[in-house]
Structure 1
Amino acid sequence: MAVEPAAQAEPSFESGLRLQTEALLRADPYRMACLMAARDLALPDWALGAGFVRNLIWDHLHHKAEPTPLNDLDLVYLDSQDMEGTRESAHEAWLSARLSGRWQVRNQARMHQRQHVAPFDSSEQALGHWVELPTCVGVRLLPDGQLLWLAPFGLASCWSLEVLPNPRCRQPRSVFDERVANKGWQRLWPLLQIPAPQ
């Protein structure tokens, strides 16, 4: 039986991880430019997530001199007025014209269908159903320059280098195993601890 991970680490510990992660993020000019572009697009309840934060931490813990290239830039948002996601490609085109990168923009108002759960109330709730725990994190740049973290499980799973399946994710365990194998994470970050396929 899967054990639900704690919603957050101890407050002081989690605060320390957020400060460390923020320092890494602010020292990365490309990621900051991505956040500024996404902020200018101003989608409702948006965040840059998945590898945008996760890979940054993993690179740091592996002492990489150069950041690992991002396969894509996962921008999530929640817009109940566009349940079919018809505007996603237009958003991607706008961002690509503004800043180079493979932008992947997804309206989380429709993503509950993959999980066979009730519609999500927020992008953070949607992030909490992604496949791997270290992937369930996003960040938003606020108008005043502050960072807002969307991290339903906190940042500890990213910093632990342990890659575990998310028990809230309703997709089969084989999806986790296939994603881990296909993405080649242990080749890129050999210190990662990943359970054997089931």
Structure 2
Amino acid sequence: MKLVNEQDIKEVISKDKWMMNVIRQAAKLELPDWWICAGFIRAKIWDELHGFSEKTILPDVDVIYFDSNQLDKQNEKLFEKQLNILDATIPWSVKNQARMHKLNQVEPYTSSIDGMSKFPETATAIGITLDEKGELHLSAPYGVEDLIAMKIRPTPYFEGSQIYDDRAKQKKWSTKWPKVTVD
């Protein structure tokens, strides 16, 4: 399959019953400024571009949201429990981007998309959400070109970073997806 733009990515996701179920489950929480991001999308697109018939198993499904009024990490754990009640087969991970800047020791984020833009890799800085009309929306702060080209590069926040270098070695993306290149 040939993928060229954001619309192609949304179409691939919309045709995947498992992914749409995951997105609909997350939507039930009605979190402010919520997105499912990172490997959830990246793995699907790379599986598709590699022609894999089996879905790559994900270590987690990252649900992010932004709520500057509720910064207690315990809230995230409560949301994970609620999602596990809806579907315990999914390895949920919920993070409030309003507090993640502390972990990363940077200026406070202004939104989930701002938080996403501070992810280590451009191909991972991508998210999808479902609006109240049931329409998918994609956010890719650095575009989708690297994702579609199967190229791992650091975002501007991680250029020359040991964290990026360590992740690139640890993740072993090109072992799972041989066409992936790492800068």
Instruction: Please classify the TM superposition score into its range, dividing by the shorter chain length.
Output: over 0.9
Select which of 107, 114, 117 maps to 1:125: 114
CA positional deviation for 1:138: 0.4
Does 1:106 find its partner at 2:106? no
CA positional deviation for 1:118: 2.0
Aligned-pair Cα RMSD in Å: 1.6
Distance 1:137 1:23 in 2: 15
Give the structure 2 partner of residue 3 of structure 1: none
Give the structure 2 partner of residue 67 of structure 1: 55
Distance 1:30 1:169 in 2: 32
Distance 1:115 1:167 in 2: 14
CA positional deviation for 1:183: 1.8
Equivalent position SS for 2:181: coil
Distance 1:148 1:19 in 2: 9
Give the structure 2 partner of residue 160 of structure 1: 149
Equivalent position SS for 1:86: helix
Give the structure 2 partner of residue 181 of structure 1: 169
Give the structure 2 partner of residue 45 of structure 1: 33
Distance 1:46 1:167 in 2: 23
Distance 1:83 1:94 in 2: 18
Amino acid at match of 1:48: I
Give the structure 1 partner of residue 8 of structure 2: 20
Distance 1:160 1:184 in 2: 17
Distance 2:78 2:43 in 1: 27
Select which of 118, 138, 141 maps to 2:130: 141
Does 1:193 find its partner at 2:181? yes
Distance 1:189 1:65 in 2: 13
Distance 1:154 1:132 in 2: 12
For residues 17-53 of structure 1, give each alpha carbon's deviation from its aligned partner in whole angstroms, at most 9, with x where no partner exists: 1121111101111110010011111110000000111
Equivalent position SS for 1:110: helix
Unaligned runs of 5+ residues in structure 1 are: 1-13
Aligned residues with identical type, % of pairs: 32
TM-score, normalised relative to structure 2: 0.93
TM-score, normalised relative to structure 1: 0.86
Give the structure 2 partner of residue 7 of structure 1: none
Equivalent position SS for 2:36: strand
For residues 34-89 of structure 1, give each alpha carbon's deviation from its aligned partner in whole angstroms, at most 9, with x where no partner exists: 10011111110000000111111111111111111111000000111112322011
Equivalent position SS for 1:126: helix
Amino acid at match of 2:139: L
